[in-house]
Amino acid sequence: MNTKRILDEVASSLSISKEEQKILTNETEKVVSLIKEGLKKAKISAEVFVGGSFAKNTLVKGEFYDIDLFVRFDWKYEDISRLLSNVLEKIAKKNKLKLEKMHGSRDYFRIIVRKNIIFEIVPVIKIKKPEEARNVTDLSYFHVNYVKRELKKAKLEKEVILAKQFCKAQKIYGAESYVNGFSGYALECLIINYKSFERMLKELSKAKPGERIIIDSEGLYKKKNDVLFEMNESKLSSPIILIDPTWKERNALAALSRETFEKFQDAARKFLKKPSKDFFIIKKFNLEALKQKAKKSKTEFVKIELKTDKQPGDIAGTKLKKFASYLEKELARYFEIIEKEFDYSGKSKAMDYLIIKSKREIIKIGPPKALGEHAKAFKKQNKNVFEKDGILHARIKVNFSAKKFVRDFAKKYTKTIKSMDITSLKIS
């Protein structure tokens, strides 16, 4: 089966039906109407607009649907989250709807109208120019209008749907800190730039290790290299610098990590070499397969369960991922991590699965021999000490398992674990 046929079939299977479209449109109109009415009663100057994938016609067919609604408040208001909260609480109570408050850079809300339809309602400031934004969410209005216009012009909606599902299946979708992947908006901008999903894969998979790609589709900079001098340095660490077409000072892929990008490249190359629908199927984590892999390679399999009491979602996921990475770095001092899988459910718990191989022996670097007291203390602390270029070194035998290391770590560094908002650490 050729690539075009595979992509056409996948895109068709991922597009929502006319019936689903009708249901989502009706529910959206109802919620928007309720919010508008609530704002009017509260005498609040604000407008509501539909955003996200639903507004851009790039919604991927699934079991659950999240629809983004943005409430644009007049510039004169300050605590817009509180104002919106007051309005939504009355709406939820009157209409017997479930309302949830979500914490973020600015608090937003979720209203569940059906078991599989959730509205995320985000308060933003009504701005005329991107540079007036008080928060990144204030840019959403510009993002929606830009993407809708460009996708419709070139009929690229299906290409975006393919890109989103491909990244979801590879577990690299989302700009959250526990993913460090591709946001929906970033993928939309990439498709607009490359004009097709297949070309996007081809071009991005060509990048060499360590290479940095600069994409400025709207030509907001005279020369691409000007980006490196004019943009804030903190926004230049990602492997792809994607200039936000609506605001030149923003890198739409600032959250993308090198590790995630390399994972994307690997999947892209494999798909291009041997196209298959399998690359778009979200597979459940296969624990037994990972255990068998460790057994076959005679390495150690480690399963770490982490819990936090932080708000489920981006906050909890970020905390759990940060600690998992920290623990992996500690383990890497004595062990080689062959494979790892961080699995976050979206709630308060995450699993970190590791296939680990002992280094057997490590070399610990000590003080210069000339530093008498320090050199003496180093020799006392370590048995197998030797000198190299005037510096003391010690050979340390790794005669313990990774599981023992983690258990000892949990006992010894309870304060560190607690300070990182981890409430439970279990190893098996």
Tell me: the pLDDT tens digits for 141-150?
A: 999 999 999 9
DSSP, res 360: S
Listed in sequence order, the residues at least 6 apart from 203 whose beta carbon sits closer than 8 Å to its beta carbon are: 194
- Nearest alpha-carbon partner for 126 in 144, 142, 148: 142
CB neighbourhood size of 336 (10 A): 12
Tell me: the pLDDT tens digits for 55-73? 999 999 988 899 999 999 9
Domains of the chain, earliest start first: 16-151 (3.30.460.10), 156-283 (1.10.1410.30), 287-360+398-427 (3.30.70.590), 361-397 (3.30.70)
For residue 193, CA distances in Å to 171, 216, 270 come to 23, 8, 22
H-type helices in 337-400, by residue range?
372-381
Rounded Cα distance, 164 and 371, in Å = 58
Q: Decide if pLDDT at 1 tops 80.
A: no
pLDDT tens-digit series, residues 173-221? 998 888 999 999 999 999 999 999 999 999 999 999 989 999 999 999 9
pTM to 2 decimal places: 0.86
Tokens 């608090």, residue located: 107
pLDDT 10s digits, 242-261: 999 999 999 999 999 999 99
E strand or H helix that includes residue 207: none
Query: How far is 420 from 319, CA to CA, in rounded Å?
Result: 7
Calculate the average pLDDT of the chain: 93
What is the four-CA torsion angle of 245, 247, 251, 253, rounded to 10 degrees?
-50
Residues contacting residue 64 through CB under 8 Å, at least 6 positions apart? 116, 117, 118
The structure tokens listed for 67 are 């629809």
CB neighbours of residue 113 within 10 Å: 16
